[in-house]
Chains A and B, each alone.
Chain A
Amino acid sequence: MSDFAIELRGVGKKYPWFTLDNIHLELPHGQIMGLIGPNGAGKSTTIRILLGLVQQDHGEVRVLGRRMPEEQVAAKWDIGFASEDMRLYEGMTLEWHMNFIRSIYPGWDATYAQLLLKRFGLRAEQKIKGLSHGQRVKATLLLVLARRPRLLVLDEPTTGLDPVARHEILRELTAVMNDDGRSVLFSSHNTQDVEQISDQIAFIDRGRIIDCMDKEAYLDRWRRLRLEVPAGTTLPDLPGIIQFRQNGRLAVATANAFAPGMANAYESQGARVQSIDTMTLEEIFIANVEHSREEVGA
């Protein structure tokens, strides 16, 4: 059996208006990966390819050891997928949907479904059209989670939710991961959500994966150095510094491969290091996307 729940190797898909370019992505079993990217970056296309809903032009896709899209039926028995643009039947009740899913999945966990109803504050007899956006997302998630899938794929699950609903959903996702056998891939442009629950992070922009690695190691690599630069001082281009912005005597250097020696290197040239700051995932995301676009444009 493969070590990975998801493997994408050299995957590409060309549209007249957008190209997904040579995507490599690996999600080990039992891990949560946050796929972060701005709107239109290719998150949803990547997810649709790995579910077999869109066929890649080239490259290999394996999900839970199954080749996609050829073996999508076998794979989807063990995949729970919910997306921001997925809708339930408005005229039917949540109970009808629960019965519908239960009639398909023999592993439907009715006890867990009742527990989720309670936790999410949902009523089974309520029609979908009477639910708020947050309740609809929770209802969709309930239908996915109570199947007890081995892999959860969530495309923008928290988009448009209020902070309380977001917290409830993220808490439930974290609880799901108590079962070591489960893996989660979730896409978002909300870096706070990803930072909160992910083990792995992948950045995607303009159809390319620009970074993918373990979250802790990743956060640890990035630093922002605030410098005071005396007039007439020229600072060297250090490897690992991806952005250098100077305004008068003050400068900010952004490092994507920080090493303590960087501060010494600047100080040896006459600069004074005011502070070395860790960066939030959002700051890293923006810096990374800007750097990637500059590189592509260069």
Chain B
Amino acid sequence: MNGSVVRTLILKDWQLHRRLILISLAAGGVALGVIQLKSETAFLVGAIWYFVSLFVLGSMLPVSNVINERKKQTAVFLMSLPVSATQYALAKMVSTVGMFLIPWAAMAVAGSTLVLSRHDIPNGIIPLTIILFGFPLVGFCMIAGTALIGESEGWTVAASIACNSSYGLLQYFLIRDPAINRDLNSPVPVWSARVLTVLAGEAAAAGLILAITFYLQSRKREFV
């Protein structure tokens, strides 16, 4: 494996997108500050803002890191380097997913810690919070996969719209699910079978989407 070139390509993507990552982290930080204002409205606005900053990052990263490289024809420059199409796809996947995972993980940990530290919010909400953090992750994998396989801005935007518009609906059904709803006011987190099933489903969906993306990408015969 041509490890050093793949690593250089990943580092290059990080360097080019560090501003976007910092902006999303800053947006999340401000949202956390709003949540701390201790009014119900501020909590609601801050929480929505917090998730929206992840949704926006999840939609922008694939376009910026994958589609723009095609659209602005820098992919030809990269493919003139000693890498194969599969290695390029691997570098693209690792960099795109990695660039999302770091702010996602930081914000998931910060959000959960906030819930744990606030005595006015029951800790029973923690499993739902973690499930909700899974949505932007699965959605991001779907958008990134579409960008990598489809190489089309139109399809990527369509995937982005489909994912972003389904978050609210999924959230609605989750909160109305009695198996999850009944434990929300519990003083301790309850990891019920339903919660664990949903979490496992999210992890499996994210993993499956990435595996299919890599498989299809490695079978491509045309690169540019």
CB within 8 Å of B: which residues of A? 48, 51-55, 69, 72-74, 76-77, 79-83, 85-92, 100, 103-104, 140, 144
Residues of A contacting B224 with CB < 8 Å?
48, 53-54
Q: How far is the CA of A83 from the CA of B224 in the complex (A)?
A: 12
- Taking residues whose C-beta sits less than 8 angstroms from the other chain, chain B's interface range is 20 to 34
Q: B76–A88 contact, CB under 8 A?
A: no
Q: Binary interface profile of B, 45-84, with partner A (CB < 8 Å = 1, else 0)?
A: 0000000000000000000000000001110110111111
Q: A54-B221, A55-B221 are in contact. Are A83 and B76 (CB under 8 A)?
A: yes
A51 touches B80 (CB 8 A): yes
B74 touches A87 (CB 8 A): yes
In the assembled complex, which residues on chain B have CB atoms less than 8 Å from the CB atom of A91?
Answer: 16
- A-B contacts, 22 listed (Cβ < 8 Å): A51-B79, A53-B76, A53-B79, A53-B223, A69-B84, A73-B82, A73-B87, A74-B82, A76-B82, A77-B82, A80-B80, A81-B80, A86-B76, A86-B80, A87-B72, A87-B74, A88-B74, A89-B74, A104-B4, A104-B5, A104-B82, A140-B77
B222 at the interface (CB under 8 A from A): yes
Which chain B residues in 168-224 approach chain A with CB under 8 Å? Answer: 221-224
Is B5 a contact partner of A54 (Cβ separation < 8 A)? no
* A103 vs B77: C-alpha distance when bound (angstroms): 15
B73, B81, B223: the one within 8 Å of A85 (CB): B73
Contacts of B82 in A (CB 8 A): 73-74, 76-77, 104
Candidates B8, B79, B84, B87; contact of A104 at CB < 8 Å = B8
Is B165 positioned at the interface, with any CB of A under 8 Å from its CB?
no
Q: B2 at the A/B interface (Cβ < 8 Å)?
A: yes
Q: B38 at the A/B interface (Cβ < 8 Å)?
A: no
Q: B80 touching A82 by the CB < 8 A rule?
A: yes
Least Cβ–Cβ distance between B63 and chain A, in angstroms? 15
Contact of B76 among A73, A76, A85, A103 (CB under 8 A): A85
- Shortest CB-to-CB span from B64 to chain A, Å, is 11
For window 1-33 of B, CB contacts with A under 8 Å fall at 2, 4-5, 8, 12, 16
Provide the bound-state CA to CA distance between A22 and B79, in Å: 25
Whether the pair A73, B2 counts as a contact (CB closer than 8 A) is yes
Q: Chain B residues with Cβ under 8 A from A48's Cβ?
A: 223-224
- Residues of chain B contacted by A54 (CB below 8 angstroms): 221-224
Tell me, rounded to whole Å, the shortest Cβ–Cβ distance linking B72 to chain A. Answer: 6
The reply to whether B72 and A90 form a contact with Cβ atoms under 8 Å apart is yes
A87 touches B73 (CB 8 A): yes
Report the separation of the CA atoms of residues A73 and B5 in the bound assembly, to the nearest whole angstrom.
10
